[in-house]
A = this chain, B = another copy of it.
């Protein structure tokens, strides 16, 4: 949900449309990552994305979408895709037609594309050089008066202003994210782009994150804020549930700073125990910062490698990640992670006792400062009345004997349960690193792992 400001206010803002082209995106073969990415970048420049539209490689559909965006008063349209060498790549041509600009060959650009293709022709010697030269030429035919963005891959981008100034400026970018993203930065530096977004508002953008409450509780807090007289109309608040965490994103113009501060204070008061980030930092970033100088090891069962994968996602994680064991079977839990067999037979493989032994075993085996142990039932099979699918036991431990252990029941299917388990483990690790512990000075038992 989002608390929207009055639409009168919004009408004066700069609005943009994002147009994603490609039959493979439209038919669900690949999912679009450019729309959300561009939307976030536009917000940073003070431009509202009013719509993201995906169409296939059909000229009529492309043109209709551009005309719709003009009719809806967009100041800017950003397109992605359709710049390749094949016949169905027709974005440049359609944008030329839309802006009323003639298509002309840019021979300097033709030469630059040729230079880029040269090493590729060496690498795949079977390719037909004439066919390549023809497509190379096609990519150098651009709307007259457009600003060219040099290719990061092989496709050039374009910034195409409206001829009469009445329509939107169109930024034309290639589809692959690793080409689009650097070329977006090039586009921003052009005069044509800066002219198009002149007068954009500067927004403040703040994100807070909470873990462990339902989304409706935040809705209640917002209602409470309004009852308490806060003017939420000045704040554009979007709340969303992601991987089990609640993210509250707020955007506002600088004069609304006081309203935001008051809202943040209210969230702090009402949700002290679940608010974990006031500066937008993710739990991964917080763990990476808190863990400095220490090393973490994991022994996981139902998550099957996902905790290790998440901890090693960030560059430089080898500084703090010691290693991991994925122990599906009871034998592996015993032989590799050092879980005593009698613990498994007495409490079952999915138990807080085994989770603790896994955490301790991981820390011991990898000589790490911190250990994480997870065991659970991700389903769809394997559930019982006592331990239904979704039952997950997680423990984090430190060398000094501090420990946090939880048994929880997570909703959803196999993928949800596995992902959610990882999130819970990350939060327990964060809390342990922040000094929390189930018992301040737990009785040390001889480490399970030392015995095996």
Contacts and interface: CB of A to CB of B under 8 A. Distances in A.
A154 to B, nearest CB: 10
B52 A40 contact: no
Nearest to A251: B27
B54 A35 contact: yes
A4 B415 CA distance: 36
A322 interface: yes
Contacts of A416: 178
Given A27-B43, A216-B127, A307-B305, A328 B332 contact: no
Contact of A72 (B2, B10, B64): B64
Q: Is chain A's binding surface mostly helix, strand, loop or mixed?
A: mixed
Contact of A28 (B37, B57, B60, B335): B37
A326 B325 contact: yes
Interface residues of A, number: 102
- Please indicate which of the listed interface residues A43, A54, A219, A379 has the most CB atoms of chain B within 10 Å of its own CB: A54
Contacts of A323: 325-329, 332, 336
A304 B321 contact: yes
A220 interface: yes
A183 to B, nearest CB: 16
A324 B249 CA distance: 39
A190 B325 CA distance: 50
A10 B56 CA distance: 12
Given A53-B53, A238-B23, A312 B322 contact: no
A452 interface: no
Contacts of A52: 26, 53-54
A37 to B, nearest CB: 6
Interface in A5-34: 7, 10, 23-33
A33 B31 CA distance: 8
B88 A2 contact: yes
A24 B57 CA distance: 27
B321 A328 contact: yes
B324 A326 contact: yes
A366 interface: yes
A329 B297 CA distance: 12
Interface in A308-332: 308-313, 315-318, 321-329, 331-332
A86 B240 CA distance: 13
Given A1-B84, A55-B51, A305-B312, A214 B124 contact: yes
A317 B327 CA distance: 13
A351 interface: no
A395 interface: no
B336 A30 contact: no
B304 A312 contact: yes
Contact of A50 (B49, B61, B307): B61
A448 B356 CA distance: 31
Interface string A113-132: 00000000000100110010
Given A322-B328, A336-B336, A336-B365, 12 more contacts: A10-B58, A24-B238, A28-B35, A29-B242, A51-B65, A127-B216, A128-B220, A304-B312, A305-B305, A323-B332, A323-B336, A331-B367
22 contacts: A1-B84, A1-B86, A3-B88, A24-B240, A26-B39, A27-B36, A27-B49, A27-B238, A28-B35, A29-B238, A29-B247, A30-B36, A124-B216, A124-B217, A304-B309, A305-B312, A305-B324, A305-B326, A312-B326, A318-B328, A318-B329, A325-B326
